[in-house]
């Protein structure tokens, strides 16, 4: 069985794009539910999750500018591992107020509660 590395990379990128598109609707619903229920904790969590998606997109685009390392190769497993690693990085950055985007969104949206 041959796996075409180019199509594998494209499939990973398509899955990432699908997740972003799906998450955008989920975030909008989560934020609206938090505002309707006047739940500040859920609003904060939704803002942090949205910042994590933003950071993930930023890190992914930054990673795409780096040339492939000949030592580790350019295979599907490496792409999956780095994608999962960057997902965790983005979640930790957002949880620890890395960019402050979640705080700003929360400050603006919490005025409506």
C-alpha distances (whole Å) from 20 to each of 71, 87, 105 are 31, 12, 18
Structure tokens at 73: 């190769």
pLDDT in tens, 61-91: 998 898 877 776 677 888 888 899 999 999 9
Report d(CA 8, CA 11) in Å as an integer.
5
pLDDT higher than threshold 90 for residue 58? yes
Average pLDDT over residues 94-108: 86
Banded model confidence at residue 55, pLDDT cuts 50, 70, 90: very high
Banded model confidence at residue 42, pLDDT cuts 50, 70, 90: confident
pLDDT higher than threshold 60 for residue 95? yes
Average pLDDT over residues 17-24: 51
Report d(CA 53, CA 91) in Å as an integer.
8
Taking 3-state DSSP, the helix, strand and coil percentages for the chain, each rounded to the nearest 5, stand at 80, 0, 20
The phi and psi torsions of 97 (rounded to 5 degrees) equal 55, 45
Q: If you average pLDDT over every residue of the chain, what do you get? A: 78
Number of Cβ atoms within 10 Å of the Cβ of 107:
11
Q: What is the pLDDT of residue 15?
A: 46
Q: Is 4 helix (H, G, I), strand (E, B) or coil?
A: coil
Q: Angle, to 10 degrees, between the axis of helix 5-37 and the axis of helix 40-64?
A: 160
């Amino acid at each position: 069985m041959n796996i075409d590395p180019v199509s594998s990379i494209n499939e990973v990128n398509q899955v990432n794009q699908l997740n972003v598109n799906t998450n955008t609707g989920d975030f909008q619903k989560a934020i609206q539910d938090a505002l309707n229920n006047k739940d500040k904790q859920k609003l904060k969590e939704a803002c942090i999750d949205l910042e994590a998606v933003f950071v993930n997109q930023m890190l992914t685009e930054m990673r795409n500018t780096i040339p492939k390392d000949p030592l580790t190769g350019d295979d599907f497993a490496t792409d999956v591992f780095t994608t999962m690693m960057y997902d965790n990085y983005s979640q930790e950055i957002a949880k620890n107020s890395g960019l402050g985007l979640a705080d700003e969104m929360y400050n603006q949206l919490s005025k409506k509660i």
